Structure 1
Amino acid sequence: MNIATPTHPQPLNLPPRLLLGPGPSNANPRVLAAMSLPPIGHLDPFYLQVMDEIQTLLRYVWQTQNPLTISVSGTGSAGMEATLANVVEPGDVVLVGVMGYFGHRLVDMATRYGGDVRQLTKPWGQVFSLEELKQGLETHRPAVLALVNAETSTGARQPLEGVGELCREYNCLLLIDTVTSLGGVPLYLDDWGVDLAYSCSQKGLGCPPGLSPFTMSSRAWDKLQNRKTTVTNWYLDMNLLSRYWGEPRTYHHTAPCNMNYGLREALTLIVEEGLENCWQRHRTNAELLWEGLADLGLNCHVDLEFRLPTLTTVRVPDGVDAKAVSSKLLKEYNIEIGGGLGELAGIVWRIGLMGYNSRPENVILLLEALKKALPPTGCVGNTSY
């Protein structure tokens, strides 16, 4: 059989998109420049130094001293799976706080690893109180409590103060999703008693997708070491990965060197700005967006107290076609915003101001474009920016 020769592809010519959806976000030019450097061997002494620097930088942005703090070769879902794969054994009770789409994903993954999964649920856009979490721990006595700190589907921020203390009282591990919070929302893993956390590279850190920061406390490491069964996911087994990221530097897989160059540069940019300044920048620009949305007659889905500065869910006005508006923004203004997921499909838009994209000029550009893209019934304000 002869396979026809493909038509010679034309040079890649990408449109100049401004990515203001739930992720990925645009990367800082310095990050892209770092990624364009020549690849070197994944056991090269210089690359091992880069790995060490990434671990130090990730500890800073997460505010943790956990020795096992690395970037997993894979997107944020790989980090999610890594947390569960390493500490969940068949029969372990896993209590998951479900308040959106990614809580359901945690349930799915924990079930696949044999966990006896129980759920606490809240309407999409709300969060759990400390008392509700305490009641859940008292009722279910789990080995692991899994919470989404920044629910990407709803734009809600789950408070974590006091949760780690409860988990120690009930002798369980605290696992959190920081995919949409790392780099843009205050996080204090050690002070809050967090045992396992994961994130991604393409949101608050301002790097392209492909890596998943991961960290594990000594309590979680002890549970891993005392497993009765082997970790069923070879690629994400921290017993193996810890020997690559630390001594004796044993080969595990061919690491995506260029992606880690980019992550190192993205984390360096946060150090240069200062972590608290970075958090404040995200908050200031989010408040500018919220004020502008109100001027356009648009309402946010999440109460102000629990609203994420990195991702805002905007209620679609009655009678407005959500997809038509987002499509117009993309086609006419090269601006991407996200639609709703799951229960919020067609009900909200998701607007991300993360990492390099959290800048006032982007907020102003989006508000001007929204004012033109919305039908008259969906835009009652008349403010100029």
Structure 2
Amino acid sequence: MKTYRDLSPSPRTIMTPGPVEVDPRVLRAMSFSILGQFDPEFTDIMNETMDMIRVLFQTNNHWAFSVDGTSRSGIEAVLTSLIEPGDRVLVPIYGRFGHLLVEIAERCGADISTMEQEWGQVFDPEQVVKRIRQERPDIVAIVHGETSTGRMQPLKEIGKACRELDVLLVVDAVATVGGTKVATDEWMLDAVIGGTQKCLSVPAGMAPVTYNERAEAKILKRKRIERGLRDPQTETGWSGKGIQSNYLDLSQLQDYWSPVRLNHHTEATSMLYALREGLRLVLEEGLEQRFARHLEHEAALVAGIRAMGLTLFGDPDCKMPMVTCVNIPDGVDGESVRAMLLHEFGIEIASSFGALKGKIWRIGTMGYSCNKKNVLHLLGALEAALLRHRVPVHIGAASQAALDVYRRKANTYE
């Protein structure tokens, strides 16, 4: 019989736009004893998690909970629960993940219209507002932070217009929540989806979501109980009118997270422990302090990249604080550089998609991975890898430029 070695993954410095390194305190939380999903201790943990998700999304929404599955499960849960066949859905696209929203909406039978912006740019909000006024869609679905291009779309004006015109606004904030401001109530966002594996520094496997009474009204309109079937606690007979998924049906999931405790599925116990601890750490640090930390390390990384002699991709005015896109120098095999960083230095950065594949590297400074040690380690390793690839970088300049940023911040050497 074949034998297998002990599992021992190599230690990595993960500087991608997700997943990222996980805080050891989160990993510790995942090792705690399993509780039954209706044990009062466990339902208390669920309630605490809901409270913290509200703070994370800066909302007073009643509904704020997690969907079991990676961040895409949250996106699918929201869209499939809201979109009825024939609904008019507008998707402004400025990167890869806008196309994902289109695909999911198509599967729901939506009547879809799109508007596209060149990758590396975002929309002037007035462009989107004008299109909304022209088309009067039922739903607008948009990405807040596009990790494929490192750009972040302003949402406040779009949210205001949607509210005035009674249009539901659904936002993919998977890459931004926990790393920069996502003001659900202030920006009048109707439903927002987050992810655990990015700025929250929790393993992939849950998707925090929140939605308001406007969205809930549409979800509940689709909920029904088949006539003649037994107690809904048996699950039998519960379905959403036209909702394709049972597992991702928000009308049932919200009953699971409510005092009703509908036995919809078995909760992912250890992942919920991880999410609760990750959220606790976010709130312990403080949202504003956490946002400032992401900006500080972004500034150090950008200063180092530029000092090295490399250039950045995309419009700097709409750059995501937690993703930096670097143009690969002409004639350089970007995958060879990435492989050297991984195998010689234990650092992982990302390539990109579509028309940008092979043209840019994407470097993430997210959550627990967003720290001074990682930034300086990456800059030194990238300089060495580029020298090995015969790229004429400014030797030693990158780390010094980053240290200057840190020195200005601290106003003294540590």
Q: TM-score range by the shorter chain?
A: over 0.9
Q: Distance in 2 between matches of 1:243 and 1:225?
A: 11
Contact 1:76 1:199 in 2 (8 A): yes
Q: After superposition, where does 1:178-217 map in structure 2 within 5 Å?
A: 178-217=173-212
1:207 is displaced (CA, Å) by 0.6
1:384 is displaced (CA, Å) by 5.8
Contiguous gaps of at least 5 residues in structure 1? none
Map of 1:293 onto structure 2? 305
Contact 2:94 2:146 in 1 (8 A): yes
Q: Distance in 2 between matches of 1:191 and 1:378?
A: 48
Q: Residue 18 of structure 2 is aligned with which of 20, 23, 37?
A: 23
Q: Distance in 1 between matches of 2:244 and 2:168?
A: 20
Q: Residue 374 of structure 2 is aligned with which of 362, 371, 381?
A: 362
Residues 1:379 and 2:393 are matched in the alignment: yes
Map of 2:54 onto structure 1? 59
Contact 2:306 2:398 in 1 (8 A): no
Map of 2:290 onto structure 1? 278
Identity %: 40
Q: Give 3-state SS (helix, strand or coil) of 1:71's partner.
A: strand
TM-score (norm 2): 0.90
Residues 1:80 and 2:94 are matched in the alignment: no
Map of 2:163 onto structure 1? 168
Q: Residue 133 of structure 1 is aligned with which of 128, 132, 140?
A: 128
Q: Distance in 2 between matches of 1:10 and 1:241?
A: 40
Q: Give 3-state SS (helix, strand or coil) of 2:46's partner.
A: helix
Q: Distance in 2 between matches of 1:381 and 1:307?
A: 27
More moved, 168-177 vs 321-330: 168-177
Q: Distance in 2 between matches of 1:379 and 1:62?
A: 41
Q: Residue 338 of structure 2 is aligned with which of 314, 326, 332?
A: 326
Deviation per residue, 1:223-255 (Å, 9 max, x gap): 112239332211111111111101211111111
Map of 1:156 onto structure 2? 151
Map of 2:274 onto structure 1? 262
Q: Residue 112 of structure 2 is aligned with which of 117, 120, 125?
A: 117
Code of the aligned partner of 2:365: L
1:272 is displaced (CA, Å) by 0.9
Map of 1:42 onto structure 2? 37
Q: Give 3-state SS (helix, strand or coil) of 1:208's partner.
A: coil
Contact 2:56 2:177 in 1 (8 A): yes
Larger Rg: 2
1:381 is displaced (CA, Å) by 5.0
Residues 1:341 and 2:336 are matched in the alignment: no
Contact 1:295 1:381 in 2 (8 A): no
Q: Give 3-state SS (helix, strand or coil) of 1:139's partner.
A: helix
Code of the aligned partner of 1:240: Q
Q: Distance in 1 between matches of 2:126 and 2:392?
A: 39
Q: Distance in 2 between matches of 1:12 and 1:227?
A: 46
Residues 1:250 and 2:262 are matched in the alignment: yes
Q: Give 3-state SS (helix, strand or coil) of 2:377's partner.
A: helix
Residues 1:235 and 2:247 are matched in the alignment: yes
Q: Distance in 2 between matches of 1:21 and 1:179?
A: 14
Q: Residue 317 of structure 2 is aligned with which of 305, 308, 314?
A: 305
Q: Give 3-state SS (helix, strand or coil) of 1:31's partner.
A: helix
Query: Could you say what the CA RMSD is over the residues aligned between the two structures, in angstroms?
Result: 1.2
Q: Give 3-state SS (helix, strand or coil) of 1:191's partner.
A: coil
TM-score (norm 1): 0.96
Q: Give 3-state SS (helix, strand or coil) of 1:38's partner.
A: coil
Contiguous gaps of at least 5 residues in structure 2? 224-240, 400-414
Contact 1:71 1:213 in 2 (8 A): yes
Say how many residue pairs are matched: 380
Contact 2:379 2:398 in 1 (8 A): no
Q: Distance in 2 between matches of 1:89 and 1:264?
A: 33
1:303 is displaced (CA, Å) by 2.1
Contact 2:308 2:398 in 1 (8 A): no
Q: Distance in 2 between matches of 1:44 and 1:169?
A: 44
Code of the aligned partner of 1:50: I
Contact 1:320 1:378 in 2 (8 A): no
Contact 2:312 2:324 in 1 (8 A): yes
Code of the aligned partner of 2:49: I
Code of the aligned partner of 1:370: L
Q: Distance in 2 between matches of 1:226 and 1:300?
A: 47
Deviation per residue, 1:296-344 (Å, 9 max, x gap): 1111212222111111111111111110010100000010000011221
